[in-house]
Amino acid sequence: MGALFLAALALAGCERLSEVGRAPALAGIDNPTSDPRWRQVSMPMPSLETPHVTANSLWRPGSRTFLRDQRAAQPGDLVTVLVSIQDQAQLRNETERERLGTDSFGVPQLLGLEASFTRIFPNTIDPSRLVETRGAQNASGSGTIRRNESVTLRVAATVVQVLPNGNLVVTGRQQVRVNSELRDMTVSGIIRPADIASDNTVRHDRLAEARIAYGGRGTISDVQRPRVGQEVLDIILPF
């Protein structure tokens, strides 16, 4: 068991050891659909409708320009996702509970058998007060949660799928390396073409099934992250 534990720690540290003296490596530019974890999105779809065509008209329904709609519409097109998260939350709970209880039990008369109690119990026993219990419970608790998050970014995403109802599945990834610190952000979700602005941007709160992740790795992140052994001990130790 100890050997397996040491082997797991060694494997976990191989990646970090391989980057000693070097900056974190950037990921290659790959086709998002080639990722083994990527799956096509299947959502409930309405029935197909025949597009309305106006005779003798050069204007296309839904187009924002006279010649061509410049917004993303087909797989491979790009759309800029504007991420602006300003979350604030404050919760406070207080609980106070108190309970008092008194119980008594006695047998003043029981078919004349109460006279024989002195054979079993001391002479000073009172049959009317054989058992008496008292209890008191007090409980109080309080909790406070405060959260303040702010993220403002712009990420170019790629349309990877067009759903039967016209909605677009987009995914994008951005990596920025400054000195030896690598910042990585990914965004994906489903958007309506109508929510894409004329400058080919879409707000993050218009993404359905949105998945937004922002993190990093490097010399600074390594200092902020606990060691592998500490993480394992935090999981397995019961106290």
Tens of pLDDT, residue by residue over 139-155, are 777 888 777 777 788 89
Calculate mean pLDDT across residues 51-73: 66
Question: Is pLDDT at 201 greater than 70 in this prediction?
Answer: yes
- CA separation for the pair 94, 142 (Å, rounded): 4
Question: Is pLDDT at 185 greater than 80 in this prediction?
Answer: yes
Return the closest-CA partner of residue 82 out of 175, 185, 168, 166: 185
Output the pLDDT for position 198. 85
Tens of pLDDT, residue by residue over 125-136, are 666 666 777 778
- CA separation for the pair 111, 185 (Å, rounded): 85
User: What percentage of residues in the chain have a pLDDT greater than 70?
Assistant: 69
Contact 167, 207 (CB under 8 A): no
Per-chain mean pLDDT for the chain: 77
Write down the pTM of the prediction.
0.60
Token pair for 197: 């602005």
Token pair for 149: 């998050």
Residue 127: C-alpha distances to residues 55, 103, 114, 132, 172 (Å) = 106, 15, 7, 12, 83
Calculate mean pLDDT across residues 186-213: 90
